[in-house]
Amino acid sequence: MTTPQELFERHRATLDQAVAASRQRGYWSPFAEMPSPRVYGETAAADGETAFKARLNKLFHLDQPAAGGFIGAERSPFGFDLGVTYPKPDLDALLAAAKTAMPGWRKAGPDGRAGVCVEILTRLNARSFEIANAVQHTTGQAFMMAFQAGGPHAQDRGLEAVTYGWKAMTDQVPSARWEKPQGKNPPLVMDKVFEVVPRGVAVMIGCATFPTWNGYPGLFASLVTGNAVIVKPHPAAILPLAITVEICRAVLGEAGLDPNLVTLAADSADAPIAKDLATRPEVALIDFTGSSEFGNWLEQNARQAQVFTEKAGVNTVVIDSTDDPKGMARNLAFSLSLYSGQMCTTPQVIFVPKDGIRAGGEPLSFDQVVQAIAGATDKFLSDAERAVEVLGAIQSDATLKRLQDAHGLGAVALASRKLDHPKFADARVHTPLILVLDAKDEEAYGQELFGPISMIVKVDGTEDALARATTLARGKGALTAALYSTDRNTIAAAQDAFTEAGVALSVNLTGGVFVNQSAAFSDFHGTGANPACNAALCDLAFVAGRFRVVQTRVPAAA
């Protein structure tokens, strides 16, 4: 057995670096993002695939309280059933077990808990290939993205949550001597102890597109602060989180702690349990990523809990001018294509002035801007074998239907095409649809259309574009915004406007940084300052309410 305190000593240097990184917000990551054999081991890729395949068409055993029976009906968007089934949860038993497990976890203390959490993340990192396969074949992400976003980048976000939680819990000393002068009389002297206590049972409700990247922050923020966590995956993406729960439980058990601090509550689309679970009085914390509709429901109805939501919105791009039109078009083409636009950060609306823009010192008409973006996208995806490694597959029937229905919303600048996947015959691969709409068509472009659907909207000018973009952000929410402008005053005005609207802004991206990507320890994902989400990944507000400090004071022995 390795004690929590020993794990803390083992990972202390990482935690210290992580705290510094969270403050300095430069580039930092302890987990290698390239699936390189030199880092992960010569056999890691093959081992991970083998481990994944060994999971298929089997029961996934977890030694946790269960009702009996198994459920699960995941299907890979690349065209096959996973056939994995999971223990059917008994919510009463899971909640009771979670409560029983917490006092021992509290006593491990902030340092011990942080040590255990970093150990879990380190184990998750070693299993990145297995998890990447699981992410790929539940979300439809292409392998490289499934590895990076589902593995090391998700682990980064998990570590970030551990870091903020540890930083917040240790903001005050664990004990202190208080000595108040009394003039000529002896001072009053008290010894005080400040103990961090959990809020209660936490529930993490996963999403279908980024089960680990969006799930780990809430899971680890709640866990490190002393709470037990019940993981409720999306029915379409259970496996990556089931593996995660398995690893959490193994590390907890090896550290002499109760594994029931982390349990899995899988459900099916036919018999969802999230509403029942989320409104249980024992549940004090909820993390949710998914639809605005259910996120808003949780915020309104799970009144007994603190609810952290990452929902959706309408992300916009404002094109004012550029000195690199080709770089701009290439950059946008990648952003619109990546994982078929199934990211909550993908731009949906691109505002372009009706009279065109200045591009590299030359005028570019509205139609030319449209053509540049559509053309760059088409060209970028012209080689199907390469394209499928960017696009991945469409995760859900609903997104595919939305894509098909969207063709009628405007003039088609680039139609969506079905691509054949060279390795998976039944993979659901479709290129992005790009439409052209008029500013007055806000009913069409101002609704959230999750998936590979983008709309270039003709506006009066940049001022009009900024006004529309920030109004949409305030009304519908936005996780990202982008601006292209060569004018310093326009950039300043846009920065001010998007800051007031609570949207993170990326300016003049023409190279290898993309508006829909967000790096842990540097970029805050979401702001919590518009309807797209009520929390940011990851800041002090994300962790500070997950625990309480309870003090005891005793007169100091004379």
Residues 45-84 vs a second copy: string with x where CB under 8 A? ----------------------------------------
Q: Tell me the C-alpha distance between 210 and 213, whole Å.
A: 5
What is the smallest separation between the CB atom of 134 and a second copy, expressed in angstroms? 27
Phi-psi category of residue 553: left, alpha or beta, with phi > 0 → left and psi -120 to 50 → alpha: beta
Q: Contact with a second copy (CB under 8 A): which of 68, 181, 361, 408?
A: 181
Reported as type and span, the H/E element at residue 351 is: strand 349-353
Which string of DSSP letters, residue by residue, matches 376-423?
A: HHHHHT-SHHHHHHHH-----HHHHHHHHHHGGGSEEEE---EE--SS
> How many binding residues for a second copy (CB under 8 A)?
68
Between residue 92 and residue 111, which ones bind a second copy under the rule CB under 8 A? 103
The rounded distance, in Å, linking the Cα atoms of 63 and 196 is: 29
| Closest to a second copy by CB, 24 or 404 | 24
CA dihedral 390, 394, 395, 401 (to 10 degrees): 160
* 339: nearest Cα among 388, 303, 290: 388
Q: Please identify which residue in 14, 22, 133, 399 interacts with a second copy, judged by CB under 8 A.
A: 22
| Alpha helical stretches, state H, 25-43 | 37-40
Helix axes 384-391, 325-337, angle to 10 degrees: 70
Q: Which two tokens stand for residue 140?
A: 């439809």
- Contact stretch for a second copy (CB under 8 A) within 121-129, 201-209, 274-282, 542-550: 542-550
Residues 6+ apart with CB under 8 A from 276: 91
Minimum gap (Å) between residue 455 Cβ and a second copy: 24
Q: Is residue 20 close enough to count as binding a second copy by CB under 8 A?
A: no
Piece of the chain touching a second copy by CB under 8 A; list 114-122, 391-399, 445-453, 512-520:
512-520
Residue 508 is a binding residue for a second copy (CB under 8 A): yes
Question: Least CB distance from residue 327 to a second copy, whole Å?
Answer: 10
Applying CB under 8 A, which of residues 275, 401, 418, 553 lies at the interface with a second copy?
Answer: 553
**Amino acid at site 94:** L
Residues 349, 271: Cα–Cα separation, whole Å: 36
Judged by CB under 8 A, the residue of 504, 520, 532, 537 near a second copy is: 504
Among 61, 177, 326, 379, the residue binding a second copy under the rule CB under 8 A is 177
Q: Site map for a second copy, 312-331, x if CB under 8 A?
A: --------------------
Question: Using CB under 8 A as the criterion, what x/- string covers residues 367-396 for binding a second copy?
Answer: ------------------------------
Instruction: Select from 54, 59, 425, 549 the one that contacts a second copy (CB under 8 A).
Output: 549
Tell whether residue 298 is a contact of a second copy (CB under 8 A): no
Which two tokens mark 288?
A: 């949710």
- Among 506, 516, 520, 532, which residue interacts with a second copy (rule: CB under 8 A)? 506
Which distant-in-sequence residues (6+ apart) come within 8 Å of 46 by Cβ?
none
How far apart CA 302 and CA 296 sit, in angstroms, is 10
Q: Which stretch binds a second copy (CB under 8 A): 117-125, 342-350, 359-367, 541-549?
A: 541-549
Write the DSSP string, 328-344.
Answer: HHHHHHHHHHGGGG-ST
Q: Which is nearer to a second copy, 185 or 440 (CB)?
A: 185
- What's the Cα-to-Cα distance from 188 to each of 193, 531, 538, 552, 558, rounded to whole Å? 16, 50, 41, 16, 11
CA distances from 46 to 241, 390, 475 (A): 21, 22, 47
Residue 184 touches a second copy, criterion: CB under 8 A: no
Question: Could you tell me the smallest distance in angstroms from the CB atom of residue 513 to a second copy?
Answer: 5
Q: Which of 314, 359, 457, 529 binds a second copy (CB under 8 A)?
A: 529
Whether a cis peptide bond, with omega within 30° of 0, leads into 538 is yes
**159 in Cβ contact with 212 (< 8 Å):** no
Supply the minimum distance, in Å, between the C-beta of residue 169 and a second copy. Answer: 9
Window 192-231: residues binding a second copy (CB under 8 A): 192-195, 197, 199
What x/- string results for residues 484 through 503 when contact with a second copy is judged by CB under 8 A?
A: -------x---x--xxx-xx
Nearest distance, CB of residue 192 and a second copy, angstroms:
7
Round to whole Å and give the CA distance between 518 and 343.
Answer: 11
Binding site for a second copy (CB under 8 A): 22-27, 103, 167-168, 171-173, 176-182, 188, 190, 192-195, 197, 199, 299-300, 303, 491, 495, 498-500, 502-513, 519, 522-524, 527-529, 536, 539-541, 544-545, 548-555
